[in-house]
A and B are shown apart, each in its own frame.
Chain A
Amino acid sequence: MNGRQIGDVILDLQNISLRFGGVKALTNISFDVREHEIRAIIGPNGAGKSSMLNVINGVYHPQEGRIAFHGEERRRMEPHMAAMQGISRTFQNIALFKGMTVLDNIMTGRITKMKANFIEQAFYFGRARREELEHRKKVEEVIDFLEIQHIRKTPVGRLPYGLQKRVELGRALAAEPTMLLLDEPMAGMNVEEKQDMCRFILDVNDQFGTTIVLIEHDMGVIMDISDRVVVLDYGKKIGDGTPDEVRNNEEVIRAYLGVGH
């Protein structure tokens, strides 16, 4: 594959079960993610894909199962801890800060790296000033990378959907994550926007070596860009392997590929 070397397992999920009252969102799911790979999660609506990402970065707490990230096992994860450990994500329904500009949204992505306290900031002095300029520079690199220079100062609420998705990716990238969780980054986009997004995802993976866990409905995209695929159906894992293996898996064909949606 493109220059990068797929490494060891960095995220290992064992027997994860997650329930909401009577609803079993995830049942006894195990899979792993290797360093630098693009790992796709597919499955019909309601299969539990988004829940899976929410478990990985601590938004949901599974009733059963074990999660190890970089070999470190954790019983209970909180979202801001996941962020500190280098896990960033985007959301299925865009979760940008609507009242803020593109620049401020992406700057916010670097918040865990900014150390000046509020008093230093009130005086905009020393570390506060230095940090603001340093991080601005990093954020401009993200802005250049995603080709959104022209909308830097635009409030995100005013942007079209496709660009909002791109800004949300930018906010996640600003944290320089080691692992990026993308929940349907191409949903609702036109062909051209999808191609751009695909290119950005591949470039992130290739240039920065970022490990990517990706939820996507478009099978063409999945076959093209992912290294391995997990297939979920009704909260259960029904397939796991390379795109080719998954495509030829009987159960997967029956449950998912066979039925149009």
Chain B
Amino acid sequence: MLYREAGQFKASYGADQQIFPIRQDRIGIMIVLAIAFIAVPMLASEYWLKGILIQFLVFSCAALGLNILTGYAGQLSLGSAAFMAVGAFASYNFMLRIDGMPLLVAFVLGGLAAAFVGILFGLPSLRIKGFYLAVATLAAQFFIVWLLTKVSWFSNDSSSGVITAQEMVIFGYKFVTPESKYLLVLSVVTALALMAKNMVRGSVGRAWMAVRDMDVAAEVIGIRIMHTKLLAFAVSSFYCGVAGALYAYAYLGTVEPEGFNLDLSFKILFMIIIGGVGSISGAFLGPPSSSCCRFSWM
């Protein structure tokens, strides 16, 4: 850390419990948001917006999800990409099959579908930990991608499970330009990031960290381990699901289940390792630095 809290005295618990209690953090976040919402759309080229920034935000969103599960609740998962796939395909089907389905509602429903699947594949975590749990989530990764490819209903009977995302329209406004797509993704991801920050600093977050750090003590304090772990899987998968929907709608446009393979899961895992396990801002530091690493390896 470049600065400390020293010398900033709080006169009330309310002031100490703000989302960003340290002044430098508050100012820093304001500046970053101002740049992201105002300067970037004005200055960035189409290539940067389409090719890099939207993708960066999408991966940050997935990394946020994985960080909640792995960084905060201590449950290792290799299935992030599969939960993204569930979000993407579920949103697609809600848009396709329900007339007049609003786009953002479809994203949320996609996230909820992923959360539900996340809970199912989180059930083994009640019995197994660490490496064995990672293997169980690996099974989720392969099974979900296989199922989405195999059952053609999910892709509306297209060949090899390819889906083409519908046009993005909110209240009659069509998101066609890279700037508009970028701003849409940025808004969704910013809202989700603030919510994640609020959760992890509240009693839910403390319960997750308690289960991560010392599960017997957590239970003795009155934390229901099962409930807490499954909630982490649900919330985490929700974030991955929304990320998957954004990936399909705002970035790729056309996507097949194989696009959400194990490679992508690992990529997201590396992002949180590089960005900082157990920190919300880490989800945003990870993607650029891990892509830099990738480029330098090549």
Contact string against B for A residues 124-143, beta-carbon threshold 8 Å, 1 for contact and 0 otherwise: 10001001110011001000
Report whether A99 and B212 are in contact in the complex, using a CB–CB cutoff of 8 Å.
Answer: yes
Assembled-state Cα–Cα distance A106/B17 (Å): 15
> Could you tell me the dominant secondary structure of chain A's interface residues?
helix
How big is the B interface, by class?
A: 20 to 34
Report whether B204 and A121 are in contact in the complex, using a CB–CB cutoff of 8 Å.
Answer: yes
> Could you tell me the dominant secondary structure of chain B's interface residues?
helix
Report whether A83 and B220 are in contact in the complex, using a CB–CB cutoff of 8 Å.
Answer: yes
The answer to whether the Cβ of A166 comes within 8 Å of any Cβ in the partner chain is no
How many whole Å from B160's CB to the nearest CB in chain A? 38
The answer to whether the Cβ of B30 comes within 8 Å of any Cβ in the partner chain is no
Report whether A124 and B198 are in contact in the complex, using a CB–CB cutoff of 8 Å.
Answer: yes
Report chain A residues within 8 Å CB of B198: 121-124, 128
The answer to whether the Cβ of B207 comes within 8 Å of any Cβ in the partner chain is yes
Which residues of chain B from 162 to 197 have a CB within 8 Å of any chain A CB? 195-196
Report chain B residues within 8 Å CB of A123: 195, 198
The answer to whether the Cβ of A219 comes within 8 Å of any Cβ in the partner chain is no
How many whole Å from B73's CB to the nearest CB in chain A? 12
Q: Which of A84, A88, A111 has the most CB of B within 10 A?
A: A111
The answer to whether the Cβ of A100 comes within 8 Å of any Cβ in the partner chain is yes
Binds B, one of A10-18, A20-28, A90-98: A90-98
The answer to whether the Cβ of B136 comes within 8 Å of any Cβ in the partner chain is no
Report chain B residues within 8 Å CB of A122: 195-196, 198-199
Q: Which of A91, A98, A121 has the most CB of B within 10 A?
A: A121
Report whether A97 and B210 are in contact in the complex, using a CB–CB cutoff of 8 Å.
Answer: yes
Report whether A99 and B219 are in contact in the complex, using a CB–CB cutoff of 8 Å.
Answer: no
Assembled-state Cα–Cα distance A83/B207 (Å): 14
Report whether B209 and A99 are in contact in the complex, using a CB–CB cutoff of 8 Å.
Answer: yes
Contact string against A for B residues 35-64, beta-carbon threshold 8 Å, 1 for contact and 0 otherwise: 000000000000000000000000000000
Give 13 pairs: A residue, B residue, CB < 8 Å, sorted on A.
A79-B216, A95-B220, A96-B213, A97-B210, A97-B212, A99-B209, A107-B206, A108-B206, A108-B221, A122-B195, A122-B199, A124-B19, A124-B198
Interface, chain B (partner A; CB < 8 A): 5, 13-14, 16-17, 19, 195-196, 198-199, 202-204, 206-207, 209-210, 212-214, 216-224, 231, 235, 278
Closest 9 CB pairs of A and B: A83-B222, A95-B217, A112-B222, A121-B202, A97-B213, A122-B195, A79-B219, A124-B198, A136-B13
